[in-house]
Amino acid sequence: VVHHRPVTSPTRPIDEIALLDAGAGRRLERFGERVVDRPHPAAILSPAAPRLWRDADLRFDRDAGWTGRSDAQVPWTVAAAGLSLELRATDSGGVGLFPEQLANGDWVVDQVEARIRAQGTPAAVLNLFAHTGLLTLVAARAGATVTHVDAARTAVAWARRNAQLSGLAEAPVRWIVDDAVGFVRREARRRRRYDGILLDPPAYGHAGRRTWRLDADLGDLLFACSQLVAPGAFLLLTAHTAGFDDDRLIDEVRRAWPVTPGGLEVRALELEATSGATLPLGTAIRVTA
Ligand SMILES: C[S@@+](CC[C@H](N)C(=O)[O-])C[C@H]1O[C@@H](n2cnc3c(N)ncnc32)[C@H](O)[C@@H]1O
Task: Say how many Å lie between the CA of residue 55 and the centre of ligand 1.
Answer: 30
pLDDT the model gives residue 108:
98
* pTM (two decimals): 0.93
Task: Say how many Å lie between the CA of residue 287 and the centre of ligand 1.
Answer: 21
Question: 191-229 burial by CB neighbour count: b if 16+ within 10 A, else e?
Answer: eeebbbbbbbbeeebebeeeebebeebbeebbebbbebb
Q: Are strands 2-4 and 26-31 parallel, antiparallel or unpaired?
A: unpaired
Task: Say how many Å lie between the CA of residue 11 and the centre of ligand 1.
Answer: 35
Phi, psi angles (nearest 5°) of residue 102? -60, -30
* Angstrom distance (rounded) from CA 138 to CA 141: 5
pLDDT in tens, 59-69: 999 999 999 98
* Angstrom distance (rounded) from CA 125 to CA 145: 6
* Residue 274 vs residue 150, higher pLDDT: 150
pLDDT in tens, 115-128: 999 999 999 999 99
Residues lining ligand 1, judged by CB closer than 6 Å?
A: 98, 129, 131, 149-152, 155, 179-180, 200, 202, 205, 207, 212, 240
Among protein residues, the one whose CA lies closest to atom 7 of ligand 1: 202
Closest approach atom of ligand 1 to CA 98: 6
Q: Hey, which of 38, 131, 181, 283 would you mutate to test ligand 1's pocket, going by the most ligand atoms within 8 Å of its Cβ? A: 131
Rounded to 10 degrees, the C-alpha dihedral 259/132/119/235 comes to: 0
Computed over every residue of the chain, the mean pLDDT equals 92
Task: Say how many Å lie between the CA of residue 182 and the centre of ligand 1.
Answer: 14
pLDDT in tens, 241-281: 766 789 999 999 999 998 988 999 999 999 999 999 889 89
Q: Average pLDDT of 47-69?
A: 95
Predicted confidence band of residue 74 (pLDDT cuts 50, 70, 90): very high
